[in-house]
Each structure stands twice: as structure tokens, then as C-alpha cells.
Amino acid sequence: MKDWRWLLLVLALVTGLLQHRLWLGPGNSGQVQALQAQVDAQKRDNLGLQQRNDALAAEVMDLKDGESAIEERARSELGMIKPGEKFYRVVESSAAPSAPAPLSGGVGQ
């Protein structure tokens, strides 16, 4: 009968020790959840960066293979035109010009 009590006490202590390590020790469940959240965030970042890399790789291939992409870039970013072409710039005004404001505190007042 006494042996069972000691065995039960030892099992309870071991269980308590294991529970303590699970909840409060190194590598506890809270740290595991925090690390999992960091992994998920890094996966999202990696997916966005992979999509950006794919788009850049496609653009590089387009620039290497096609003249139209190079021409488009030269026109939009460098303002270049082909020989013999005429370039027209259309400027839209956002508001009608206003009359100059009268000066205050001038001579003759």
C-alpha cells in the first residue's frame, strides 16, 4: 500500500515538472505561437517578393527579346522620339488664370 502512495507521488511530481516546462520553460507554447506567427509573416513577405521577382524577370525577358518594350521605355522615361516624328505636348490648365491681387499699403493711399 505504501509503495503505491510513493509511486503516485512521484508520478504527480513528474507530471507537474513536465507541465511546468510545457507552460513556463524554454520553448514553451507561447514562444512556439510567437515563432509560428513570425514564420507566417515571413512567408507572406516571401510570397510578395517572389511575385515582384517574377514580374521583374518577365520585364527583363521582354526587354531582351522585344524592341517594342525598349522603344516604349525610351519614349516614356527618356522622352525620345523616332527620326521624322513630330512631338506634341498637350498641357491642360487646372484653373483659369486669376487677376493679380491689389497691393495694400502702397503710395498714394
What's the pLDDT at 38? 96
Q: To the nearest whole percent, how much of the chain has pLDDT over 70?
A: 83
In 3D space, the residue among 41, 38, 15 whose CA is nearest the CA of residue 30 turns out to be: 38
Pick the more confident residue, 25 or 65: 65
**8 A C-beta contact, residue 28 and residue 22:** yes
Verdict on whether the full-model pTM lies above 0.75: no
